[in-house]
Structure 1
Amino acid sequence: MDVGLINGVPGHPLFVHGAAVLVPLTALALVVCALWRSAARRLGPVLPVMALVTLALVVLTTESGEWLEERVRESSLVEEHAEMGPGLTPWTIALLVLTVAVWLLGCAGPRRGRERGEEDDGPTGGAASTVVRLASSLPVRVAALVIALVVAVGAVVQVYRIGDSGARAAWQGRFSTSRSGPGR
């Protein structure tokens, strides 16, 4: 699949804008859902699906960037940006894994009936209650939140660093700080 051109222009700038929005949005949703299990239950599978779309977009952005790198004038700024780009993929993989884990923990956590002490008399009631107790335990919830915070901050910082280097590669030395136009 050729991801280089969209309607005759490089697709990389378009994909970059999508990734620059979705990575921080997914990171924020992950932290919110790690903090409030009810948010993870309410979002349901939307959280991991959003992370999957984010990962796909980051891969597409990286591939289109590699395509574009072969077609622009070489410079140290372009080279620096191109070297940084693939570094976002591991962060978005971690976002995906954690969104699935946080969503599953939210689904396994206590609900109103369980919080009032109602028991599950089904054939797996004992095993299910063990999973619920584990998912509800403070150490598991704190660990999930801390890991979510680390990955979310890391992903957002990486997006910023890559975006800044890309903006420098595209624009440094190519514009004037003063206005120009007819009659000036």
Structure 2
Amino acid sequence: MSLINGLPAHVLLVHVVVVLVPLTALALVICSLWPQGARRLGLVLPILALVTLVSVPLATQAGEWLERHVDSDPLVRRHAELGDGMLPWAVGLFVLAAGVWWLARRTPAPETAGPRSGSAPEAAGPRSGPGPVIRVAAVVLSVAVAAGAVVTVYRIGDSGAKAAWHDAYSKTATKGGDD
């Protein structure tokens, strides 16, 4: 993919990544901390993470095309180097989102207040879910990967903005007024 409606595709696709990575990271952390929320979201969490994962190589490939069509510049090269580091974070978001979704499905729903149809809750049999060590590990990994992904997408975006806008504007107004 090179151009979309006459614009470099990277310029448009990068916004998908910039929105979806923090959104997926936030959803992942919330769902890892709150299994009921993960159950409510159902497949939305892993599907969101999958769309995020797919968007990263699309934006990267479009960026590689754009890199071949602009002047060689250290800022552009730095942006491209940082951009190559986003895919592992997106993979991590997806793997953890799928894992948190799976754990939420295995976590028993909280019992409602009072016995149902006169039977004691124990009559339904023991309900087991993932152990506390697994839940804590899922939370810790989710927070770490979410934070790493958000910081990485910020660093990539910041370097891209510097590469695109350095020496491309005047600090003083060029046309009437100081609006």
Question: Do Structure 1 and Structure 2 share a fold, with TM-score over 0.5?
Answer: yes
> Per-residue CA shift, 1:106-140, capped at 9, x if unaligned?
010011359944535xxxxx8xx5xx33x1x2221
Change (3 A) 1:110 1:118: farther
Instruction: State the alpha-carbon separation in 2 of the partners of residues 179 and 11 from structure 1.
Output: 30
TM-score (norm 1): 0.87
Which of 80, 89, 92 is residue 78 of structure 2 equivalent to?
80
Structure 1 residue runs of 5 or longer lacking an equivalent are: 121-125
Aligned partners of 1:27, 1:69: CA distance in 2, in Å? 28
Partner of 1:11: 9
Task: Give the letter aligned to residue 41 of structure 2.
Answer: L
Where does residue 119 of structure 1 map in the other structure? Answer: 124
* C-alpha distance in 1 between matches for 2:159 and 2:109: 46
Distance (Å, rounded) in 1 between the aligned partners of 2:102 and 2:6: 43
Count of matched residue pairs? 171
Aligned counterpart, 1:169: 163
* 1:24-43 → structure 2 map (5 Å cutoff): 24-43=22-41
Match for residue 21 of structure 1 among 14, 19, 22: 19
Corresponding residue number in structure 2 for 1:58:
56
Gaps of at least 5 residues in structure 2 are 114-120
Deviation string, structure 1 residues 132-176 (Cα, Å, up to 9, x no partner)? 33x1x2221111100000000000000011001100100011111
**What TM-score, normalized to structure 2?**
0.89
Letter in 2 for 1:24: P
Q: Aligned-pair distance for 1:178?
A: 1.8
SS of the residue 2:85 aligns to: helix
Deviation for aligned residue 1:67:
0.4
- Matched residues in 2 for 1:27 and 1:183: separation? 42
The match for 2:174 is 180
Greater helix share, structure number:
1
- Corresponding position of 1:150: 144
Going from structure 1 to structure 2, the CA distance change for 1:34 and 1:60 (only over 3 Å counts) comes to: same
Q: 2:101 aligns to what? A: 103
Q: Which moved more, 1:35-44 or 1:3-12?
A: 3-12
Cα distance in structure 1, aligned partners of 2:147 and 2:75 = 25
